[in-house]
C-alpha cells in the first residue's frame, strides 16, 4: 500500500499525474447528480469540488478494473434499490471501497499541507491505520481474482427512502476513523462499515430486517447513526491472510482472523454517546439533544416504538 500521485492506488505501479488518475466519484455520478458544481468539505475545512477528487491509478488498473466496475454499477443503478440488492456483495464492497479509499487518501495527503491543522489528525490515529491496512487486502479483489473464505470484509446495508418524503437525490458522508461511510443515490441509501468483518451487520440483523421498507429520511438518518456508532464501538480489527498459491490456482483465497481473545467485540453501548451520533445525523431536522434524551434510557427513535416494534412515519414533523 503506497499512496501519493506517483503510485497506482491499487497495484503500486509508478504513475504520472495528471493522466494516470481516476475520479473518486465516477463521471457518471458527477453527471447524474450534478456534482460537477458541488463541493465537499474536507477535515481541514478545505473546500474541494467533487470533480477535483482524483486518485492515482495506472492505465491498466483503470481500463481493466476500475472503469468496468463503474460501468457495471452505473447499469444496475438504473434499477434502483432492486439493482443494488441483486448485486453480489463483493462487487458492492469493492465499489464502495474504491470511493472510500479515494476520500481517505485525499484526506491523508491533505494533512501533509493542511489549510487548518485538524484537532485529531488522521495520520496520528494508529487504530485507523490498522483498520485501513486490513481493509486494503480484500480491496485487492478489484485487481486480482479473489475469494473471501467464509467471511464478508464489511457490513453493507441497502436502505430505501420513500420518494414521497424525500427531496435529496444525492448525499454523502463518512467517518474516516472507523471506515464508516454512506452514499445516497436517489431512493437508495447505502450504509457501510468497510472493515468490521460483517460484525455490525450481524449485530444489527433484526433492526435491518425491520428497516427493509420505504423509510422516511429521518429514519434512514437514525439507521446511519446506529451503524456509525456501532463502528465506533467496534473493538476488533480483523486480519486477512492470502493462502499460498499452488500451481494452477485461478484465484487468491483470503482468510480472516479475528483475535478477540483480549476482550469484547463491541465496547459497551452508551446512550448519551449514541445520542450525539443521532444529533449529528438529524442536524437537517434541527432535533434537539434534549428531545433525543427526553428519556435517557430510551433515546428518541423514529424507527421503533417503546416496544421495539417498527414505526411507520408518513411525514415529519408528524403533526403540523
Ligand atoms: Zn495499477
Residue 320 pLDDT level (bands cut at 50, 70, 90): low
As beta bridge partners, residue 55 has 22
pLDDT score of 261: 61
Inter-residue contact 34 to 62 (CB < 8 Å) = no
Measured in Å, residue 196 CA sits from the centre of ligand 1 at 26
pLDDT at 252 over 90: yes
Measured in Å, residue 110 CA sits from the centre of ligand 1 at 22
Tell me which residues have their CB within 5 A of the ion that is ligand 1: 8, 10-11, 13, 58, 61
Q: Are strands 252-257 and 146-148 parallel, antiparallel or unpaired?
A: parallel
pLDDT score of 315: 87
Q: How many CB atoms lie within 10 A of CB 119?
A: 6
As beta bridge partners, residue 143 has none
Residue 260 pLDDT level (bands cut at 50, 70, 90): low
pLDDT score of 5: 83
Measured in Å, residue 76 CA sits from the centre of ligand 1 at 25
pTM: 0.94
Measured in Å, residue 143 CA sits from the centre of ligand 1 at 8
Measured in Å, residue 88 CA sits from the centre of ligand 1 at 24
Nearest to 265 by CA among 155, 189, 170: 155
Amino acid at each position: 500500500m503506497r499512496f501519493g500521485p506517483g503510485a497506482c492506488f491499487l497495484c503500486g505501479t509508478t504513475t504520472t499525474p495528471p493522466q494516470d488518475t481516476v475520479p473518486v466519484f465516477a463521471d457518471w455520478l458527477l453527471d447524474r447528480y450534478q456534482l460537477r458544481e458541488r463541493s465537499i468539505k474536507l477535515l481541514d475545512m478545505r473546500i474541494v469540488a467533487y470533480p477535483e477528487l482524483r486518485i492515482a491509478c495506472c492505465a491498466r488498473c483503470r481500463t481493466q478494473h476500475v472503469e468496468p466496475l463503474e460501468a457495471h454499477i452505473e447499469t444496475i443503478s438504473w434499477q434502483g434499490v432492486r439493482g443494488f440488492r441483486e448485486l453480489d456483495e463483493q462487487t458492492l464492497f469493492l465499489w464502495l471501497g474504491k470511493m472510500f479509499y479515494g476520500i481517505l487518501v485525499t484526506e491523508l495527503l491533505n494533512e501533509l499541507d493542511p489549510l487548518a491543522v485538524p484537532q485529531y489528525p488522521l495520520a496520528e490515529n494508529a487504530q485507523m491505520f490498522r483498520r485501513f491496512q486490513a481493509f486494503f487486502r480484500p480491496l485487492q479483489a478489484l485487481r486480482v481474482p479473489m475469494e473471501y473464505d467464509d467471511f464478508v470484509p464489511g457490513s453493507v446495508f441497502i436502505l430505501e427512502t420513500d420518494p414521497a418524503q424525500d427531496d435529496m437525490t444525492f448525499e454523502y458522508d463518512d467517518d474516516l476513523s472507523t471506515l464508516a461511510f454512506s452514499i445516497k443515490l436517489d431512493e437508495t441509501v447505502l450504509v457501510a462499515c468497510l472493515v468490521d468483518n460483517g460484525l455490525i451487520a450481524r449485530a444489527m440483523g433484526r433492526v435491518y430486517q425491520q428497516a427493509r421498507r420505504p423509510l422516511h429520511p429521518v429514519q434512514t438518518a437514525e439507521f446511519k447513526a446506529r451503524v456509525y456508532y456501532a463502528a465506533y464501538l467496534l473493538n476488533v480489527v480483523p486480519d486477512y491472510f492470502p493462502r499460498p498459491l499452488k500451481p494452477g490456482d485461478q484465484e487468491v483465497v483470503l482468510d480472516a482472523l479475528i483475535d478477540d481473545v483480549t476482550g469484547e467485540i463491541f465496547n459497551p453501548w452508551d446512550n448519551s454517546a449514541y445520542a450525539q451520533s443521532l444529533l449529528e445525523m438529524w442536524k437537517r431536522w434541527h432535533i434537539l439533544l434534549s428531545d433525543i434524551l427526553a428519556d435517557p434510557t430510551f433515546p428518541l427513535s423514529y424507527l421503533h416504538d417503546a416496544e421495539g416494534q417498527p414505526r411507520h412515519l408518513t411525514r415529519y414533523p408528524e403533526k403540523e
